[in-house]
């Protein structure tokens, strides 16, 4: 079937607001002067439903079980990440206008606005997929569309060991950190697997504990019987209704959390999280963007400054509230792995630094300078790393 005929049928259905059912598609085809067999009509129905309701040409890529990201940079440049780096696909769009239509329709499904007045959007689709899109002329040449898939089944810690993310023997160490209710952050770059690892670890929390999640975009889906999920909300077109991550952290503290989790610490909410970790909320955790575990104190210091917290006050709260930093890296081939685990210490000036406790080696974690301190902390939970 020609693209022109498919477009004509699409426009007829879009104009009438009708669902692309087989009967309505057959009727539209007759109005266009074409008669097709049942199999051909069903094929047209599938393509139209994908374009009008689903993700269009990207539908089959998103359905692949090993795809984590789908990226569109031009009508003929569609990439996917299957866990081993980006691969260019044979999927194409008819033109740049088709990419723009898809991005705007997905934004509308997420309840967000995407047009010339607001040329970018960051949102979550109903199935959990993370959507980011930027329209021209901000995006030069063509609409840029990024989709990050959230799988309904959370990876277990054993899955991550099998995949090489967690080194041999590392599962025992991570379980000991959880059992001791140590507060920790998972650091790393974009796409290094921070959310995946945090989801897996939260699934190991005792079933009688209450986990309260505060996220900018709800991506954490731990396999746990008692999870409360809170998600931020943008302001409406009148500028009302904004709910920030800092608002959510404050509300979460009133919800009797056994584990307070901030999906990604990236703003003033760091002050509320650290305050909570210093007032009896043990076992709190979250993720933070950082190039190395040693950079985490400086990163949190920079975030704290956005809330007006001075350096000395932040480091005091950081030293008392946070215990462990787990750092992930993404290698050139695309594989994700835990590179090191640090504990916190103070330098002679009173500022927080991190000390390597376990560093990944050829055969698994190797003990480093901070190992004894980490072992002492873990003994609080009755287990040894």
Task: Judge whether residue 160 has pLDDT over 60.
Answer: yes
Indicate the CATH number of 157-381 among 3.40.640.10, 3.40.190.10, 3.40.50.300, 1.10.3720.10: 3.40.50.300
What is the DSSP annotation of 80-147?
Answer: EESSSSEEE-S---SSHHHHHHHHHHHHHHTT---SSSS-EEEEE-TTS-EEEEE-TTTSSSS-EEEE
Residue 236: both structure tokens together: 């409406």
The residue length of the chain stands at: 385
Lowest-pLDDT range of 67-71, 279-283, 368-372: 279-283
Contact 374, 170 (CB under 8 A): no
Among 35-39, 273-277, 316-320, 353-357, the range scoring the smallest mean pLDDT is 35-39
Q: What is the pLDDT of residue 8?
A: 63
Task: Parse the chain into domains and list their residue ranges.
Answer: 1-53, 54-150, 157-381
Model confidence at 3, pLDDT cuts 50, 70, 90, reads low
Tell whether the model's pLDDT for residue 294 goes beyond 60.
yes
- What is the spatial distance between Cα 279 and Cα 39, in angstroms, rounded to a whole number? 65
Mean pLDDT of 101-118: 85
DSSP string over 339-382: EEEEEEEE-TTS-EEEEEEEEEETTEEEE-TTHHHHHHHHGGGT
Closest by Cα among 296, 323, 212 to 257: 212
Single out the residue of 61, 330, 342, 372 nearest to residue 188, CA to CA.
330
Determine the average pLDDT of the residues in 274-298.
Answer: 88
* CATH topology classification for 54-150: Beta-Lactamase (3.30.450)
pLDDT averaged over the chain? 84
pLDDT, average across residues 6-13: 60
Question: What percent of the chain has pLDDT above 90?
Answer: 37
The answer to whether residue 18 scores a pLDDT higher than 60 is: no
Confidence class of residue 1 from pLDDT cuts 50, 70 and 90? very low
pLDDT in tens, 179-202: 999 999 999 988 888 999 999 999
Can the peptide bond before residue 285 be classed as cis, meaning omega within 30 degrees of 0?
no
Residue 21 has a pLDDT of: 61
Q: How much is the average pLDDT of 106-114?
A: 83
- Give the other-Cβ count within 10 Å of 32's Cβ: 13
% residues pLDDT > 70 (the chain): 84
* Secondary structure of 148-177 in HEC code, one letter for each residue: ECCCCCCCCHHHHHHHCCCCCCHHHHHHHH
**Enclosing H/E stretch for 14:** helix 3-16
- Whether the pLDDT of residue 35 is over 70: the answer is no
Instruction: Give pTM, 2 decimals.
Output: 0.77
> Cα separations (Å) of 276 from 248, 309, 322?
13, 15, 11
pLDDT confidence band for 240 (50 / 70 / 90): confident
More confident residue, 140 or 17: 140
CB neighbours of residue 319 within 10 Å: 19
User: What pLDDT is stored for residue 42 in this prediction?
Assistant: 58
pLDDT at 375: 92
For residues 305-325, give the mean pLDDT. Answer: 88
- Give the number of other Cβ atoms within 10 Å of residue 248's Cβ: 23
pLDDT band, very low/low/confident/very high, at 5 (cuts 50, 70, 90): low
Section 245-270 average pLDDT: 88
More confident residue, 315 or 332: 315
Q: How many CA atoms are closer than 13 Å to the CA of 4, on its beta-carbon side?
A: 2
CA 42 to centroid of chain Cα atoms: 35
Average pLDDT over residues 100-108: 87
């Amino acid at each position: 079937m020609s693209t022109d005929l498919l477009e004509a049928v699409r426009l007829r259905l879009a104009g009438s607001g009708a669902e692309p059912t087989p009967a309505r598609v057959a009727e539209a085809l007759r109005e266009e002067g074409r008669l097709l067999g049942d199999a051909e009509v069903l094929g047209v129905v599938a393509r139209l439903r994908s374009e009008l309701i689903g993700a269009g040409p990207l539908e089959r890529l998103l359905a692949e079980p090993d795809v984590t990201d789908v990226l569109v940079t031009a009508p003929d440049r569609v990439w996917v990440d299957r866990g081993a780096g980006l691969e260019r696909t044979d999927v194409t769009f008819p033109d740049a206008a088709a990419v723009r239509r898809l991005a705007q329709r997905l934004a509308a499904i997420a309840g967000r606005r995407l047009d010339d007045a607001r040329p970018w959007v960051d949102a979550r689709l109903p199935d959990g997929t993370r959507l980011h899109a930027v329209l021209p002329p901000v995006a030069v040449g063509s609409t840029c569309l990024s989709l990050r898939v959230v799988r309904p089944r959370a990876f277990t810690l054993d899955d991550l060991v099998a995949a090489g993310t967690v080194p041999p023997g590392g599962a025992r160490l991570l379980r000991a950190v959880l059992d001791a209710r140590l507060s920790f952050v998972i650091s790393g770059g974009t796409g290094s697997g921070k959310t995946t690892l945090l989801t897996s670890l939260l699934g190991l929390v005792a079933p009688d504990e209450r986990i309260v999640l505060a996220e900018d975009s709800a991506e954490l889906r731990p396999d746990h019987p008692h999870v409360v999920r809170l998600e931020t909300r943008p302001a409406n077109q009148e500028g009302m209704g904004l709910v920030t991550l800092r608002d959510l952290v404050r509300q979460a503290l009133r919800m009797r959390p056994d584990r307070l989790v901030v999906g990604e610490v990236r703003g003033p909410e760091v002050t509320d999280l650290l305050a909570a970790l210093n007032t009896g909320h043990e076992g709190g955790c979250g993720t933070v963007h950082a190039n190395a575990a040693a950079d985490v104190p400086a990163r949190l210091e920079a975030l704290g400054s956005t809330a007006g917290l001075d350096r000395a006050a932040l480091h005091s709260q950081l030293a008392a509230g946070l215990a462990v930093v787990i750092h992930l890296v993404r290698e050139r081939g695309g594989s994700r792995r835990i590179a090191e685990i640090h504990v916190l210490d103070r330098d002679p000036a009173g500022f927080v630094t991190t000390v390597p406790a376990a560093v990944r080696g050829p055969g698994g974690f190797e003990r480093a300078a901070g190992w004894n301190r980490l072992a002492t902390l873990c003994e609080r939970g009755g287990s040894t790393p």
